[in-house]
A and B are shown apart, each in its own frame.
Chain A
Amino acid sequence: KQEVTQIPAALSVPEGENLVLNCSFTDSAIYNLQWFRQDPGKGLTSLLLIQSSQREQTSGRLNASLDKSSGRSTLYIAASQPGDSATYLCAVGAAGNKLTFGGGTRVLVKP
Chain B
Amino acid sequence: GAVVSQHPSWVICKSGTSVKIECRSLDFQATTMFWYRQFPKQSLMLMATSNEGSKATYEQGVEKDKFLINHASLTLSTLTVTSAHPEDSSFYICSALVGNYEQYFGPGTRLTVT
Q: Please, how many angstroms separate the alpha-carbon atoms of A89 and B36 in the complex? A: 14
A43 touches B93 (CB 8 A): yes
| Contact-residue size bin, chain A (C-beta under 8 Å from the other chain) | 20 to 34
A-B contact count (CB 8 A): 54
A43 touches B106 (CB 8 A): yes
Q: Please, how many angstroms separate the alpha-carbon atoms of A36 and B110 in the complex? A: 19
| Contact-residue size bin, chain B (C-beta under 8 Å from the other chain) | 20 to 34
Q: B54-68 vs A: 1/0 string, CB under 8 Å?
A: 000100000000000
Interface positions, chain B 75-91, Cβ under 8 Å from A, are 91
Q: List 11 A-B contacts (CB under 8 A).
A: A31-B101, A41-B108, A41-B110, A42-B107, A43-B93, A43-B105, A45-B105, A97-B32, A97-B97, A98-B49, A104-B43
Question: What is the interface of chain A, defined by CB distance below 8 A to chain B?
Answer: 31-32, 36, 41-46, 49, 89, 91, 93, 96-104
